[in-house]
Structure 1
Amino acid sequence: MKFKQTDGQNQRIEGEQMERREISFDIETVPNAIKQYIKNSNIYDSSCSKNAKTLFVKGTDNSFLKISKKGSLEREFRMTSFLHSHNVAPKVIAFESDQDNDYFLTEAITGEDGVSGVHLEYPNKVSSVFGEYLRMLHSISTVNCPYDNRTSELLEEQSDISYDLKKRITFTAENNVIIHGDYCLPNIIMDNFSFKGFIDVGYGGVGDRHYDICWGIWTLNHNLKTNIYRDLFLDAYGREDIDIERLTYFTHLIG
């Protein structure tokens, strides 16, 4: 896999399905609270980031176990729990830490991600539903979201942009919708275009919608190898709530 590094994130930038390779895994290396859910299961490595190991656990109830350095997965645990309460993210089975690592176990959602062949073969359709499902996410109530100032955090993480640009974005940015924070095609699960859930939501919170919209445009351009589907995506999202000037600011930010 190849990745684009941004904001500490690792985004898959090739239009490939996640690969799964069966491995031998010593379950004694994980906390007891996790161990009980993965014993007597077949374990597959499906990692797509060098910052975390992701294991597909095939058993009576399929699940995903993500393992990363201690303190790195709490945000994803909290945002996944919040979004699951709104029926748009997987159920959290367990979250534990030991001296070195975090262990985050979620149910496996039935379906394929947005870069699977069954979806990319129909670029008009995938572009439209990608906009519709982002609009659905941005329509969720912000009440009780664990991270309520995500735009400011994202801007602080961008140390390589000019002071003038950062100042202008800070002035115009809003914290008024639930954002994914890494809205790219691999991070949405669908069953033949029917929405099943958002994954990898650890960069989310209450933020400015234009951050997600920019990433949506970027991932469509990259995976479909053209920018001609941009308008379908924006139309499906709803242009009445898109500020072109703000969209331009965030495009410079993530560029």
Structure 2
Amino acid sequence: MSFDLPKAVAQFIGDAALIADEIGESPSHVHHFTRGNDRFFLKVSAAIYAPTTYSVRREARVLDWLSGRLAVPEVVLAASNGDGEFMITRAVPGESLAARISAGRPVVELFRDALHRLQAVQVDDCPFDSRVEVRLRELAYLLDHGLTADDCDLDQWPGFAGPRDLLAHLEASRPREDVVFSHGDLCDNNVFVDDRDNLYFIDLGRGGRADRWADITLVLRNLRDDISDDAAGEFLAAIGQADDGARRTFFEQLDELF
């Protein structure tokens, strides 16, 4: 890792070995390490991402706000320097829903419960805004700085000349939002479950007030891609929600460049 660690971060890690975590597609750098019997994660975002939802300091604030409201990692410390932003969190227990899918175990009801718990978080005093206007402004920033995903596939929606064309389309087709608390990246790698089916949520940098379909869309895509169309249909039935193709497509397109 080519970052100089802030003093407090380096002192907490001490001589523990940092082991890179290869899961996930965000530009953040994630390593895990152990101290005694405890496992921790070090997450680092480069300074250029500070105004975005990739900001590690933003995620630390989201996690602190959610403490007592939702089962999330404990923030041990957060710091920054000229290189970027740094956060150390304590590992949550259990295994990811991705591991359960790989083992052929059922996850639809767990995804339903995860969505219910997220949307049960009251947003009246939530200081974090992840609504469409904010996300589109963030996307424009990422495009201006050449930071959008390099593996985006616009061919699935014929007619877009490129990322800027997609951004213009999203600007012109904003849905009317039904605002709830949203994880922002609700997928099988970001939900953990222990042996008593208690749920834990990680990677909440994009968490905040947003349309309920922001999370529903990502769960449906996850289930379709990793299990089956039938599983996605079961999830919609489980949450008592009819499909909204236009809204789902909007959030799929929005997510494509992140």
Structure 2: where are the runs of 5+ without partners?
141-163
In structure 2, the CA distance between the partners of 1:235 and 1:122, relative to structure 1 (3 Å rule), is: farther
Query: How many residues are aligned here?
Result: 224
Q: Which residue of the partner structure matches residue 54 of structure 1?
A: 30
Contact 2:57–2:79 (CA under 8 A) maintained in structure 1: no
Alignment of 1:175-214 (within 5 A): 176-192=179-195, 194-214=197-217
Superposed CA offset, 1:125-157 (max 9, x none) = 202211221121011011432213523222442
Shift of 1:177: 0.7
1:235 aligned partner: 237
Q: State the TM-score, normalizing by the size of structure 1.
A: 0.76
C-alpha spacing 1:29/1:162, structure 2 compared with 1 (3 Å): closer
Match of 1:121 among 92, 96, 103: 103
Measure the CA separation in 1 of the matches of 2:221 and 2:110.
16
Unaligned runs of 5+ in 1: 1-24
Corresponding residue for residue 64 of structure 1: 41
**Contact between 1:129 and 1:193, CA under 8 Å: does it hold in 2?**
no
Percent identity over paired residues: 27
Is contact 1:79-1:145 (8 Å) kept? Answer: no
SS of equivalent to 1:183? coil
Would you say 1:96 and 2:71 are equivalent positions? no
Tell me the CA shift for residue 103 of structure 1: 0.9
**Which has a greater percent of strand?**
1
**Distance change in 2, residues 1:151/1:59 (3 Å):** same
Matches of residues 19-30 of structure 1 in structure 2 within 5 Å?
Answer: 29-30=4-5
Q: Deviations over 1:56-110 (max 9, x none)?
A: 1111221100122122322211112222231321111100011112111111111
Q: Could you tell me how far apart the structure 1 residues matched to 2:251 and 2:31 are?
A: 33
Q: Which amino acid aligns with 1:207?
A: A
Residue matched to 1:220: 223
2:185–2:218 CA contact under 8 A, matched in 1: yes
Shift of 1:45: 1.4
Amino acid at match of 2:35: G
Q: Distance in 2 between matches of 1:50 and 1:199?
A: 13
Note the 1:69-80 alignment, pairs <5 A: 69-70=46-47, 71=50, 72-80=55-63
- State the shift of 1:162 in Å: 6.5
1:250 aligned partner: 251
Which residue matches 1:161? Answer: 166
Structure 1 residue 243: Cα displacement: 5.3
Query: Is the aligned partner of 1:83 residue 2:36?
Result: no
Tell me the C-alpha RMSD between the 2 structures. 2.8
User: Are the counterparts in 2 of residues 150 and 204 from structure 1 also a CA contact under 8 Å?
Assistant: no
Residues 58, 142 of structure 1: alpha-carbon distance in 2 compared, 3 angstrom cutoff? same
- Residues 193 and 244 from structure 1, CA distance in 2 versus in 1: closer, same or farther, beyond 3 angstroms? farther
**1:137 and 2:118 aligned:** yes
